Amino acid sequence: MVAHGGDHDMAMDGMDMGGSTTTSSGHGMMSAFFTATNTPLYSESWTPSSAGAYAGTCIFLILLAVVLRALFTAKSYLEARAIETALKRRYVVVADQTSAAEKVAGDGSSTTGILTTNGVQENVRMLQAPTKHVQPFRFSVDLPRAGLMTVIAGVGYLLMLAVMTYNVGYFLSVLGGTLLGELAFGRFNQGVMAM
């Protein structure tokens, strides 16, 4: 066996290499893009055997990239809805507490309303609490956010693995799907940020 960068033989005591210097998997690391239509995607069992199967694989990658853009849009909507809910959360000051009631009465952002509980109506003044940049932990917000982010990461890694095959068709399919996804869902992300 020849050492990298030298002309001398390396002795491997106790190991019989059988004179073979090829990789055992049969798929070496590619260093340049190629255009083969029989490149495995994700596993050996997903190897296109015809031009139609290759086209189907490319269409799958396009759709997967569009789904990734849609998931990012869904995440933006969930974030905006959580912020909107936090801003609309109202706190009621009880009439007995005069010092707090006087502060609320002087606040220009407070509004009056009628609170009905068990058939009893009360005039109340409502105000919005100042919103912090970091909201408190809530299962109803943080659990769906974490689940959605996990799905986004999984889809992103699947697309990354497709690009790492160095197949030109797979690479262009991911780019095309990203383009289509942004054309379809990009404007919704802008609207969410302006809410």
Mean pLDDT over each residue of the chain, to the nearest integer:
79
What pLDDT is recorded for position 102?
A: 63
Tell me: the pLDDT tens digits for 13-38?
Answer: 444 544 444 444 555 665 788 999 99
Q: d(Cα 149, Cα 145) in Å, to the nearest integer?
A: 6
Q: Which residues, at least 6 apart from 156, have a Cβ–Cβ distance to it below 8 Å?
A: 68
Query: Strand locations in the chain, DSSP E?
Result: 90-92, 111-117, 120-128
pTM equals 0.65
- The domains of the chain are located at 51-86+134-193, 90-128
